[in-house]
Amino acid sequence: MAGELQVFRTTLTPTVRGAISKVRRWFYASFYSKVKGEAREASKENWAKLARMLIEKSNEQGLSDKAGRVTLYYYVKDGVFVPVKAEIEAFEIKPAGKVEITFSP
């Protein structure tokens, strides 16, 4: 592989579906819009395969509607986006406590 292994991590989002959407926006802003020709189409094909796998796995595990983030490990070889692996982290949001404030003028 040419170049170093690179990492992109989304911020924590309300749903894993939203995190995948953030990765999609990052991909199109970083690779698809800046590269032309065969590298552009090869990158798009790699992204489409990865996106399909992310969606299938998150649905299969029942994580789509849980809070989460995605970490993506990838190489750039001759301008082509080459994903190596992705990690989906899912979190359950639970109330930590309640504070009641009464306001009287």
- In tens, the pLDDT along 61-92 reads 999 999 999 999 999 998 899 999 999 999 99
Mean pLDDT on 10-20: 96
For the chain, what is the mean pLDDT?
92
Question: What pTM value is reported for the model?
Answer: 0.83
pLDDT at 2: 62
Give domain status of residue 55, yes or no: yes
Give domain status of residue 76, yes or no: yes
Q: In terms of Cα–Cα distance, which of 53, 46, 6, 52 is closest to 28?
A: 46
Give domain status of residue 22, yes or no: yes
The count of domains in the chain is 1
Mean pLDDT on 57-62: 96
User: Residues near 97 by Cβ (< 8 Å), separated by ≥ 6?
Assistant: none
